[in-house]
Structure 1
Amino acid sequence: MGRIGHFTTVGGRARYFAAYEEAMRECPGERVELDVPSRFGTVRVYRYGESGRPPIVLLHGSHASSAMWAPNLPGLLAERTVYTVDTLGEPGASVQTVPMRDGADRARALEDVFEELGLTGFHLAGLSAGGWQVLNQARHFPGRLASIALFDPANTLGKLTKRFFAGATVAHLLPGDAAMKRFLSWTAGGVPWLDEPSTRVLLTGMSEYRSGLPFLGYPGDEVLRAVQLPVLALLGGRSVVHDAEAAAERARTLFPRAEVELWPEATHALLGEQPERAVKRLLEFAAEHD
């Protein structure tokens, strides 16, 4: 049996949602707040804009939330309706009630959400663990999707490096935020925005929430070969999560329909480092595959 994600204390939950609400205020424009039922719990979804064109749905990275998309939303909303999802089993406003045993269960949970919202023919994009989830959805339920976009996906195109895995383990084991801040700074190339609201909510989620999600299983070559959807893969050349060059080559070799770009100067945090460039590339790709 799997586990159910949960806040460890009542006080920790209160601290988290104080940080969460502050971070969500950074997201631009008006939004519709949706609590969508699935067989594994209630999933919080935010809808922005009404473009009339096929929407873009965004999946955040591990321990993050919909608040991480604040830098990217202005550009996306100029052309598209956007949905952001708080991943079930992670910190955020979604509430898990039933364990998810494997990747297939995670895909079923999202499929329930998309069914309930009546979404089809849309573009699904994700960063880091969200990128893994995007590929996982394309593996199990490709029929609703027009395309997928993978932003430096974790344990997806390349295996997690030993130094990344070791750094994450140590950061989670040591008390307080100092070790986790050092770890996040390292993964993002020494970012100056560790005190911004989106980072504060990330750190609070790491300390106050216990995830119920199964580990991100590394997809074999046959999984990538079977994806018939158009794929956009953007990889940071300075990413510490994986060997970016090897990951890019694997994507070019195995995906039948892929546009793969390695940005040499970017880190794992490429969406925050170069938000306008990433948004422009995603919009171009979506327009090609509506």
Structure 2
Amino acid sequence: MSIYKSQDGKIASIKLYDAQLQKLGYLFSDKYVTTSFGKIHLIETGNMKGKPLLVFHGGNSTTAYNLLMYKFLLKDFHVYAIDTIGHPGKSDEVCLSSNNYDYGKWASEVITAIGYDKISCFGVSFGGGILAKLMCIAPEKIEKAVLVVPAGINNALPISSVKMLIPLIKYVVTKKEKYLKETALYMALSEIVLDEDTLDTIKDSFDNVKTKVGMPSNIMRKLLRNYKTPTLVMAAEKDCLFPAKRVLSRAKTIIPNCKVHMLKGCGHMHIMPQYEKKMIVDFLIDS
């Protein structure tokens, strides 16, 4: 069963994906690897002499958009940016359960398939939830881990995002951009965050993709007992999905060797200032 609403919707979504990749300003190559879950597409880009970094994007979004938002990683790291299976992009349209640890098993297989025994990992939102599942399933395969506004640590109750439904329904009915922005503002808080690429990606998700509501479920503490990897968790103070107060307190409790940082005043979608970008780069590079 397709993850897209129509064949035309799939074509439009892939067209946006390719257009956003061209905006990177970096050479990149398309790669395909095989896992037991299906064929996986990834973008290899960045600094080919840099430290390898496996990157997981947010849900109902794409790795092309994620690379634009975290483009600063490309200067220092040899990036493998994965199209999450069952989400928009060029990997197989096979949907995994977000309530078990299949995403962790899948991510573990991806690491092996791209030729590594161990690699540093970076995950955003849904991708942070995938990384959290991987921490439980194959801790030995993670060299360092950075999770930004992550699912899977201490998710907010679904009722916290119910308010988004009213403007979303208005957008679905009218297709007026003002309702698209109203919906996005529950996650972004400020229109400054809603640049062209962000709005294009949100519009693509609502227009062309069968949106997935479920996020990776919270991981169990007992499954992290063998996880000793240096980890940085960054959560947004005003995130309606994964609020920092909930996420950071539990991260400190359940994840050994964990540093935490609050993105103050930010919603789930945000613009990261330079000093926080540097914090990520320094954490991943420092031995």
Quickly name the TM-score band, shorter chain normalised.
0.7 to 0.9
Give the C-alpha shift of residue 96 in structure 1.
Answer: 2.5
1:26 aligns with 2:20: no
Percent identity over paired residues: 18
Q: SS of 1:205's equivalent?
A: helix
My pick for the range that moved more, 120-129 or 100-109, is 100-109
My pick for the range that moved more, 109-118 or 161-170, is 161-170
Partner residue, 1:135: 132
In 1, Cα distance between equivalents of 2:41 and 2:167: 28
Give the C-alpha shift of residue 7 in structure 1.
Answer: 1.6
> For the Cα contact (< 8 Å) 1:138–1:227, is it kept in 2?
yes
> What is the total number of aligned residue pairs between the two structures?
281
1:60 aligns with 2:54: no
1:9 aligns with 2:11: no
My pick for the range that moved more, 175-184 or 87-96, is 175-184
Cα 1:171–1:91, aligned 2, differ >3 Å: closer, same or farther?
Answer: farther
Give the C-alpha shift of residue 30 in structure 1.
Answer: 0.1
Render the CA deviation track for 1:188-231: whole Å, top value 9, x for unaligned. 11233535134313321333222679752222343455532211
Q: Within 5 A, what are the aligned runs for 1:135-174? A: 135-154=132-151, 156-170=152-166
Cα 1:212–1:43, aligned 2, differ >3 Å: closer, same or farther?
Answer: farther
Q: SS of 2:191's equivalent?
A: coil
My pick for the range that moved more, 193-202 or 88-97, is 193-202
Cα 1:117–1:162, aligned 2, differ >3 Å: closer, same or farther?
Answer: closer
Pick from 270, 278, 281: which aligns with 2:279? 281
Partner residue, 1:263: 263
Q: What is the letter of the counterpart of residue 92 of structure 1? A: G
My pick for the range that moved more, 132-141 or 34-43, is 34-43
TM-score in terms of structure 2 length: 0.86
Render the CA deviation track for 1:160-191: whole Å, top value 9, x for unaligned. 24443313555665524654432222211123
Structure 1 segments of 4 or more deviating over 6 A?
none
Give the C-alpha shift of residue 31 in structure 1.
Answer: 0.5
Q: SS of 1:103's equivalent?
A: coil
My pick for the range that moved more, 156-165 or 210-219, is 210-219
Give the C-alpha shift of residue 53 in structure 1.
Answer: 4.2
Q: SS of 2:54's equivalent?
A: strand
In 1, Cα distance between equivalents of 2:227 and 2:131: 11
In 1, Cα distance between equivalents of 2:116 and 2:273: 26
My pick for the range that moved more, 215-224 or 40-49, is 215-224
Question: Which stretches in structure 1 are left out of the alignment for 5+ residues?
Answer: none
Q: SS of 2:84's equivalent?
A: coil
Q: SS of 2:101's equivalent?
A: helix
Q: What is the letter of the counterpart of residue 33 of structure 2? A: V
Partner residue, 1:182: 182
Partner residue, 2:68: 70
Q: Within 5 A, what are the aligned runs for 1:181-220? A: 181-192=181-192, 194=194, 196-210=196-210, 215-220=215-220
Render the CA deviation track for 1:258-281: whole Å, top value 9, x for unaligned. 1101132322224xx015334311
Q: What is the letter of the counterpart of residue 69 of structure 1? A: L
